[in-house]
Chain A
């Protein structure tokens, strides 16, 4: 039995009057990839944005219930959101490198958290992060070039490297391949497979095939409710719920 890294209990999320999540109870295991699937607007993204409290930015967003990481409530008043996000990194749907050099993109996170005090330490972090994101060989000779000059797939790996740079425990990925071509997608998937040795990964995806390829555990969301969760193999071969069955076979969604 794997250690449970993140545990959500009766999580409800409201955007103003509209309720986006209903009583979500979901355990995310350590050093494992959990895929969240479901039709658009079903609350998958809302759920992972709760894990690093990205929803704090939205004024009208209200949350009830708890999310615990290693047994500590992340919405706890004593927990600073900055230190939470240091431990929980995020990669977005559209690659969003800063319009700065590749080096600065990676070194920004460590710098603001006071990691890598000297230039050589920072250099090491940058190299290490880029290597882990399988981008080092492609960019090692042009670290001064703007991150935005890279191709879409490279940009997304740069964003993954940026997330890794602060040495998080969890990485959230919100449809990281939806803007990429199949070759770039394959590279990212390969990368996710390696990263799960070190990090707990949650990935939101619209591609059933991707969920099967990269994840060990899958959760199916529909209309803000977590319909079914279990081992990926089981969900896709022999789901308990009729709705899950219909969704993965393409009958709706």
Chain B
């Protein structure tokens, strides 16, 4: 082979390698794009809900309550009859079966909605007010175009009569889409139109907060001790190896550990953010210690020597010079560790966070849901409405993770000091 031929061959090899590299990046991006667009197309509709404009007559005879009634009186008053009477006005019906079908177009919570309007303004007895009442899940999905209306009637959850009403309402402009406030403010529910991530969001925040409070100081102190003070011997080496091993332990194992120790032995309250936070902290500890030690290691020894040479003690050289320089790396490592903890599902399932919890937790020792487990729960539900809710919740979770990762990068770049 001549010199020129060898040169050409070398150039070709380089070109080939670059092409493979580009191809793999392209494939990776394609996967991300497919995933994100799939989630987005399925989930974005969950942020809107279908409402039906309904004229509600606050009839004194049915309510047995005066204008200006006190809050407690209103709460204890039954709004059932007013609700039924108002709903039945929406469309002419014939017989009990049709009445039932008409009422089923609405969410089960409309009585509360009608009551809450009165709670805000207790001077509307005897008035007719047009309210936008939440539609049932089936109508919601039908309106959003997710419902196959061309199936034969016996295979549909929506009857022909209900379709007829729906079409009439659409024609009259009485059906519209509003921002879905329930999705953000309510807890879980068996009815998709009433289910929200409020409980899961608060539960996740409590869990992550507890995880942060426990894992950050322990991890940072452990890293500083191991990296700067611990004698280099067999025991230290053994501890180091085991920390690295712990970071690779499947998260479900931490769930089993928590189930045995926190729930069965110490009897902490089941399904609570407290237990979730402790479990996640156990899991996150090695994942923070590793980047924290790496950033301590990255501080050049000359900085330590410089401090020691002017007479700083070991402690002073570490805390005045090394730790401040390692802090950006430590913080970003912590945030990424927390982001992983936020998306963790398996250990939370084991400690009972799969329980069906409707209430939004008021404290970390109340039973609660969490975002990833909520995704898991909804993905198993049969109702159509939960499909979009699942995807929407993934979107919320992903956006939290993206924000946290950006924060980590930002902190590292902003506060990282250059040394020569």
Contact = CB atoms under 8 A, between A and B. Distances in A.
Interface of A: 52, 54, 57, 59, 82-83, 85-86, 89-90, 92, 94-99, 108-109, 112-113, 146, 148, 155, 159, 162-163, 165-166
25 contacts: A54-B305, A54-B308, A57-B308, A59-B231, A82-B311, A82-B312, A82-B313, A85-B308, A89-B309, A92-B305, A96-B305, A96-B306, A97-B306, A98-B306, A98-B321, A99-B325, A99-B417, A108-B312, A108-B320, A109-B310, A112-B310, A148-B418, A148-B420, A159-B306, A162-B310
Contact of A92 (B231, B309, B417): B309
Contacts of B321: 98
A85 B311 contact: yes
Interface in B297-325: 300, 302-313, 316, 320-321, 325
A94 B302 CA distance: 8
B31 interface: no
A86 B300 CA distance: 23
Nearest to A159: B306
A89 B302 contact: no
A89 B418 CA distance: 25
Interface string B311-351: 11100100011000100000000000000000000000000
Contact of B303 (A86, A96, A113, A163): A96
A232 to B, nearest CB: 26
B420 to A, nearest CB: 6
Contacts of A52: 309
A86 B316 CA distance: 14
Contacts of A86: 311
B418 to A, nearest CB: 6
B238 interface: no
B419 A148 contact: yes
B157 interface: no
A95 B309 contact: no
A165 B419 contact: no
Contacts of A94: 302, 420
Interface of B: 231-232, 300, 302-313, 316, 320-321, 325, 417-420
Contacts of A112: 310-312, 316, 320
Contacts of B420: 94-95, 148, 155
Contact of A166 (B311, B320, B417): B311
A59 B228 CA distance: 12
Contact of B311 (A92, A98, A113, A148): A113
Contacts of B300: 96
Contacts of A146: 417
Q: Which residue of A54, A112, A113 has the most chain B CB atoms within 10 A of its CB atom?
A: A112
A109 B312 CA distance: 7
A165 B310 contact: yes
Nearest to B300: A96
A27 to B, nearest CB: 23
A98 B307 contact: yes
Nearest to B325: A99
B91 to A, nearest CB: 75
B310 A163 contact: yes
A219 B306 CA distance: 26
A81 to B, nearest CB: 8
A148 B418 CA distance: 8
A162 B306 contact: yes
Identify the 5 closest CB pairs spanning chains A and B, nearest first.
A109-B310, A96-B302, A90-B309, A85-B311, A86-B311
Contacts of B308: 54, 57, 85
Interface-central residue, B302, B309, B418, B419, by most chain A CB under 10 Å: B309
B334 to A, nearest CB: 22
Given A98-B321, A108-B310, 10 more contacts: A89-B310, A90-B309, A92-B306, A96-B306, A99-B417, A108-B307, A112-B316, A148-B418, A165-B310, A166-B310
Contacts of A83: 311
Contacts of A97: 306
B312 A54 contact: no
B223 to A, nearest CB: 19
Contact of B418 (A99, A109, A162): A99
A109 B232 contact: no
Contacts of B418: 99, 148
B309 A99 contact: no
Nearest to A152: B420
Among A82, A83, A95, A155, find the residue whose CB has the most chain B CB atoms closer than 10 A: A82
Contacts of B303: 96, 98-99
A99 B300 CA distance: 11
A94 B311 CA distance: 19
Contacts of A166: 310-311
Contacts of A90: 305, 309
B232 A59 contact: yes
A90 B419 CA distance: 19
A112 B250 CA distance: 47
Interface centre among B232, B308, B311 (most CB of A within 10 A): B311
A57 B318 CA distance: 13
A95 to B, nearest CB: 7
A141 B195 CA distance: 65
A162 B304 CA distance: 14
B116 to A, nearest CB: 59
A134 B277 CA distance: 57
B419 A99 contact: yes
Contacts of A162: 306, 310
Contacts of A59: 231-232
A158 B317 CA distance: 18
A92 B300 CA distance: 13
B319 to A, nearest CB: 11
Contacts of A57: 304-305, 308
Contacts of A96: 300, 302-303, 305-306
**For A99, A148, A155, A162, which residue has the most chain B Cβ atoms within 10 angstroms?**
A99
Contacts of B417: 99, 146
